[in-house]
Amino acid sequence: MLKFTLNLKFYKREVVIFVVISMKVYIKQEECIFCESCVSSCPEVFVVVPGKSSTIVEKYRGKNDSEGEVDTNLKNCVESAVDSCPVNIISID
Ligand code: SF4
């Protein structure tokens, strides 16, 4: 599911509209094998914490570190991480 955020800014009498589209990213952390392929593929979004599984970087983190909301301009990056994960535990919604 894509989420739209609409920001309106007023400059003089013109209205400038910024649309930010984001996507949800999930990691099934209990099945992570700590290979760090996702981090190599997309370090903007994924990080492996020593002694823990792969997590979403703080900037994009949701209610916990296994899920996040990422701008779609990072879609290719996240998709390469999904493709690189040997145990297929990263998903996009
Ligand atoms: S690629 Fe998959 S298994 Fe490897 S660290 Fe990332 S989430 Fe874990």
- pLDDT number for residue 14: 72
Q: What is the mean pLDDT of residues 39-68?
A: 94
> Does the beta carbon of 45 sit less than 6 angstroms from any atom of ligand 1?
no
- Structural domains of the chain sorted by starting position, each given as residue range(s) with its CATH number in brackets: 24-92 (3.30.70.20)
Ligand 1 pocket mutation, candidates 32, 36, 44, criterion most atoms within 8 A of CB = 32
- pLDDT number for residue 30: 94
> Does the beta carbon of 66 sit less than 6 angstroms from any atom of ligand 1?
no
> Does the beta carbon of 56 sit less than 6 angstroms from any atom of ligand 1?
no
Number of the ligand 1 atom closest to the C-alpha atom of 85 = 1
> Does the beta carbon of 69 sit less than 6 angstroms from any atom of ligand 1?
no
List of E strands, 1-93: 2-11, 14-27, 46-48, 54-56, 67-71, 90-92
For the whole model, what pTM was predicted? 0.80
